[in-house]
């Protein structure tokens, strides 16, 4: 079958090398376009559309372009699109990294209509307005993947929940320990792809996987998203500890107890416990809680050094998802009747102007409990 398709290639097409066993899976997608579409990419169409030109969206768009896909990186900002196309660098969100020459950056919604895959990288609090704006351009057959991490304020919905509500179709999730700059520099990275359809999982695994970006499949979408959201809250707390110079013991304790909170909330939302021992759980938590490349860790570090949240936000162009997610996680804990002590103290620090030192003191002076209390 593969050789027949390769033999029928016309001019103006790009060829992709698919493993024959994966092609067999693709052939069984009766509700998707002709399987040949997945082997050949016409130069005139946007085969993959990445929504959001931040550091992560830019990195993934360039990665996919290098694999030979026809990729459109979509941004709502015309000036940013023009600048990236001209300079071949995203000087605002990924400075110093030259993008693949075939990557096209667009602010025109009509270019999304031919995309077979839609990859969302928009910060969680902006997914709803952005996709309400562009949804009419998106192909009814397009497979949607979300790589955003957070929980929407007020609705308390995860990114996949928001997208499913707007688009009316299943959404897969890409998450895990992955600083954009390190992926852009092709440093070895492993990540989780969660989907409710194993066939879609095999397909997307092939789409994203490279020799430096390893993709594992999983079926626990809500668990993967809760891990990706809560780790940003705990990262703010870890940054506060670092800013207060509390040492490595406190960081280790915070990460461990943060994992406990992440798991406790996830189980209440029907996640699988094993998910939190994986890449999208403890893996992403450790990464985000230990390095200044993390925007959320940096926010916490500055809070620990005495800066006010408003000043920190005004100095930062990228979005630290943990700030908004803290409010949502705090409200989810109340909704489900569970204790998330670290999350609560981060909430009080961010939204009630509690001093970071006082927050740490309150955590350490809580009533004594069994380590696995609340499970």
Q: Would you please indicate which residues are annotated as catalytic (active-site) residues?
A: 231
In angstroms, how far apart are the furthest CA atoms of the chain? Answer: 72
Return the residue matching tokens 């950056």.
Answer: 105
Q: Which two tokens stand for residue 292?
A: 């200044």
Return the residue matching tokens 């969660």.
Answer: 194
| 149 in Cβ contact with 114 (< 8 Å) | no
The number of angstroms, rounded, from the C-alpha of 43 to the middle of its chain's C-alpha atoms is: 28
48 - beta bridge partners?
71, 117
| 130 in Cβ contact with 75 (< 8 Å) | no
Dihedral sign for Cα atoms in the order 339, 238, 54, 317 = positive
Per-position b or e across 121-135, b if 16+ CB within 10 A of its CB: bbbbbebbebbeebe
Question: Cα(238)–Cα(247) distance, rounded to whole angstroms?
Answer: 10
Question: Cα(239)–Cα(261) distance, rounded to whole angstroms?
Answer: 17
Neighbours of 299 (CB within 10 A): 25
Question: Cα(200)–Cα(351) distance, rounded to whole angstroms?
Answer: 41
């Amino acid at each position: 079958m593969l050789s027949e398709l390769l033999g029928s290639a016309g001019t103006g097409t790009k060829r992709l090398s698919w493993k024959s066993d994966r092609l067999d899976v693709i052939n069984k997608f009766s509700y998707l376009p002709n399987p040949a579409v997945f082997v050949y990419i016409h130069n005139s169409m946007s085969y993959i559309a990445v929504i959001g030109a931040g550091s992560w969206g830019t990195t993934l768009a360039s990665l996919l372009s290098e694999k030979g896909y026809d990729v459109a990186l979509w941004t709502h900002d015309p000036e940013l699109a023009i600048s990236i196309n001209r300079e071949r660098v995203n000087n605002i969100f990924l400075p110093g990294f030259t993008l693949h020459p075939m990557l096209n950056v667009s602010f025109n919604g009509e270019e999304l209509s031919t995309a077979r895959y839609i990859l969302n990288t928009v910060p969680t609090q902006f997914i709803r307005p952005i996709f309400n704006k562009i949804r009419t351009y998106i192909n009814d057959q397009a497979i949607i993947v979300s790589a955003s991490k957070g929980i929407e304020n007020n609705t308390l919905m995860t990114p996949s929940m928001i997208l499913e509500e707007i688009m009316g179709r299943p959404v897969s999730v890409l998450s895990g320990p992955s600083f954009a700059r390190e992926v852009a520099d092709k440093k070895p990275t492993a990540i989780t792809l969660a989907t409710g359809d194993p066939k879609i999982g095999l397909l997307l695994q092939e789409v994203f996987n490279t020799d430096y970006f390893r993709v594992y499949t999983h079926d626990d979408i809500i668990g993967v998203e809760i891990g990706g959201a809560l780790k940003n809250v705990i990262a703010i707390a870890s940054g506060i500890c670092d800013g207060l110079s509390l040492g490595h013991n406190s960081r280790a304790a915070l990460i461990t107890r943060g994992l406990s909170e992440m798991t406790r909330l996830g189980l209440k939302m029907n996640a699988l416990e094993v998910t939190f021992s994986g890449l999208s759980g403890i893996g992403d938590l450790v990464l985000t809680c230990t390095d200044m490349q993390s925007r959320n860790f940096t926010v916490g570090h500055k809070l620990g050094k005495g800066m006010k949240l408003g000043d920190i936000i005004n100095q930062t162009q990228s979005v630290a998802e943990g700030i908004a997610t803290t409010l949502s996680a705090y409200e989810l804990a109340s909704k489900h009747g569970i204790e998330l002590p670290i999350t609560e103290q981060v909430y009080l620090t961010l939204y009630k102007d509690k001093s970071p030192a006082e927050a740490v003191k309150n955590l350490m002076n809580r009533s004594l409990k069994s380590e696995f209390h609340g499970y």
